[in-house]
Amino acid sequence: MQTNLSQTQLLFREAMSVCAAGVHVITTDGATGRFGITMTAVSSVTDEPPTLMLCVNRQAQIYPILQANGVLCVNVLSSQQIDVAEHFAGLTKLTPEARFEQHIWHRGKNGQLQVDGALAHLHGKIVANHEVGTHGVFYVQIDEIALNPHIDNALVYFRRTFGTFER
């Protein structure tokens, strides 16, 4: 854990922990390799063209891989996928490559990996990015969407714990 955090930083982190958020696993596969990461900092920007925004810590191992590969899949996790979230958040002792071996994956039209059982898969290309403080903001134009109509319950993150939102 980082030290020397200001009181404002600590309060900001605590305030953000009470903002319930959907849980996503971002996957990318390309010339610089395959990698995945669990994220909550994912948001829609516009539906014309369909665009998402991802905020990724610049120190994260996936950061340069995303920049170089330029394509990704946003897997919106269901309530049954806590293990997927934990693996890709690095909460288990699995290597980044071994994380992919624990689950069933399919490839979308653009070749990106989507995990079986997710609520939705949004495939796209990074069209812009910039840096703000410790993070990079990636804008992803979505070109393929797959929804799973058979699953209703979402995985959420609240007060630094995974939980379920049931419809």
Peptide bond into 49 cis (omega under 30): yes
Strand partners, 35: 28
Which pLDDT score, from 0 to 100, does residue 40 have?
97
Other CB atoms closer than 10 Å to residue 23's CB: what's the count? 25
Which pLDDT score, from 0 to 100, does residue 114 have?
97
Which pLDDT score, from 0 to 100, does residue 80 have?
96
Q: Where are the domains of the chain?
A: 23-155
29: left (phi over 0), alpha (psi -120 to 50) or beta: beta
pLDDT averaged over 10-residue windows placed end to end, the chain, 167 residues: 79 89 97 97 97 97 97 98 97 96 95 97 98 97 96 93 88
Which pLDDT score, from 0 to 100, does residue 78 have?
97
Which pLDDT score, from 0 to 100, does residue 2 have?
52
User: Does domain 23-155 correspond to CATH entry 2.60.40.60?
Assistant: no
Query: Are 39 and 56 in contact, with CB atoms under 8 Å apart?
Result: yes
Sign of CA dihedral 144, 150, 152, 158: negative
Which pLDDT score, from 0 to 100, does residue 4 have?
83
| Residue 66 CB-half CA count within 13 A | 29
Whole-model pTM above 0.95? no
